Structure formats: C-alpha cells, structure tokens
Structure 1
C-alpha cells in the first residue's frame, strides 16, 4: 500500500538518511523525498518545493547558498553543468544530479548512500547501502561520470584531513 507523508516544515531538512530527491509532476507536489529503507514505490515524503529549492534551503542551513556551492564546485571541476552539490561537507552530505537541473528527469542522489551502480538497458540501477535499489533514468556512463566528479569534490573538501596539507576548511 502506498502512503503519502507531507513534509512537516515548509522545507525538507536533508539528513544522512536522505537517499534521493525526485521532481514530481503534480498540481501541488513538486518533489518526493526517499529516505533509507524506502523506495520510489513505497512510503515517501512529498514537498510543494522543487528539488533545487530544497537543496538551496539546506545549503543555507549549513553556511552557504546553492549558488555559492555551485560557484565553488565549478571552480574545482572547471565545469558548470550537472555539478555535484556539497550540502553539508562537514557531515559528508553531497548530492549528485543525474541530469541537467532543468530536465524533469533529474534525480538528486546522496553520494554517501550509494553502494554500487550498474547498467540496466539505457538506464542505471543504483544499489543503496540499505539494500534497496532504484532504476534511474540516465545512462551508466553519465552516472559514472557524475559519481567520479562528486568523488573529486569530496577529496577537495577533505584534502587536509586526508593528506595533511591543503586548506583546512573546518
């Protein structure tokens, strides 16, 4: 049975339990949020805000804006398209867009929730640490590139902790 949960606050607060934020094509709901031990077919929370608005709200909670995070990541990657977003770098919360944010099929996936991924026809099957999986509407090569780009950003933000040199960001 499918149950709908409305987000309790005006915006959804991204936590370590958040797996995905998906754009919805509904008259009222603009996003669905999938957390650990949930799938897109199961219980999920809905929000009247678009995924980018939710991500911007959460970036602000942790000291920046979505545009501020984008600027930093664009400089790191020397690219401005489909960039991963460090929502809360201190807690290791980074989200990967699977397509352009203007694309209605864009799914935002939490990097730390991904266990493995593989090709499934012209889509990508993402396996999560909680044992669930989702079929994502993007090719495995695009997803692989996004995953690696997020890895590069994570290393940049944690260079001092990992290697003992570079900027100490916190």
Structure 2
C-alpha cells in the first residue's frame, strides 16, 4: 500500500479512477497507470486540489460544465479542460461515488447496478453502477471534452 500525504498531485492525466475507502485513516484509493495509492484525503478534497492546480475549483468546474452542456445530474468534471477529466458514478455528494477518468475501457455488467470496468492496461475495478450508466457517463465526459476543446481552439 502506497500512502501519499500530498496525494492531490496524483490526480492527473494518468489517473484511471479515484474511489472512497473507509478503512482506518484511509479515505481514498487512487488507481493510476503507474500504480495504486491510498490517501487520507477524501475524493472531493483530492479533486478540489487537482482543480486548484489549474486555477479553478471543483464547484466552479462543475457549474461551468452544467451551464455549457445543460447537464443537471452526474455532471462530468473537466479538471484540465483541454487534457483530462472524470465522471461520477452517482451524485458526487454521495460518499460512495467513484470518479472514472477519460481513459479507454470496456464494461462487463455483473448484476443489476454492479459492473466491472476493464481498462486496456489490464487494470479492472468493480463499481456500483450499471453498464448503461457507465457508458452514458463516459460519452458525456468525452463529448464535454471535445466541445470545450473545439470552443477554445476557435479563439
């Protein structure tokens, strides 16, 4: 178990997922292309720190995406709008919300509301979300990244 004190720096374009963990002092598991890390910070604090590195806040990024894309629930988060973002598996205010980042994956549904996400580097993660929700959220994230990128390239 790799425990990182300043773990918001691990939230970058190599992050695959961040998920809550409720064990002792550990609050979040961060799965990246280069390893798995554990943090005493909550998922929302880690996302806030990542947004702060790109001169914004979590609430600011979500509010802007809601306005731009007209998404009222489970809004994707563009952390670095021209590079990477993540989508929530449920309301981001839910303590069990898992954030999945913009990397290629495929989904196998285990049962109603439970699926396994298989990333193409061999890492697999089980989440409490249906295949339908995961694929819809993945599409919304990539649509938002593409639209935001096109809007800013034209300027």
- TM over 0.5: same fold? yes
Aligned: 1:118 with 2:108: yes
Aligned: 1:9 with 2:1: no
Give the ranges of 4+ consecutive aligned residues of structure 1 lying more than 4 Å apart after TM superposition. Answer: none
Aligned: 1:30 with 2:27: yes
CA RMSD, 1 decimal: 2.0
Which residues of structure 1 form unaligned runs of 5+? 39-43, 160-165
Aligned: 1:82 with 2:79: no
Give the secondary-structure state (helix, strand or coil) at the position aligned to 1:130: coil
The residue correspondences of 1:7-156 to structure 2 (distance < 5 A) are 7-9=4-6, 11-36=8-33, 38=35, 44-90=36-82, 92-111=83-102, 113-122=103-112, 123-156=114-147
Q: Are the counterparts in 1 of residues 8 and 47 from structure 2 also a CA contact under 8 Å?
A: no
Name the residue aligned to 1:163.
none
Deviation at residue 10 of structure 1 after TM alignment:
6.0
Work out the CA distance in 1 between the residues paired with 2:118 and 2:34: 12
Deviation at residue 12 of structure 1 after TM alignment:
3.8
Work out the CA distance in 1 between the residues paired with 2:69 and 2:143: 8
Give the secondary-structure state (helix, strand or coil) at the position aligned to 2:87: strand
**Matched residue count:** 154
Which residues of structure 2 form unaligned runs of 5+? none
Give the secondary-structure state (helix, strand or coil) at the position aligned to 1:30: strand
Q: Are the counterparts in 2 of residues 33 and 45 from structure 1 also a CA contact under 8 Å?
A: yes
Greater Rg over alpha carbons, structure: 1
TM-score by length of 1: 0.81
Alpha-carbon spacing, 1:119–1:37, altered in 2? closer, same or farther (3 Å): farther
TM-score by length of 2: 0.88
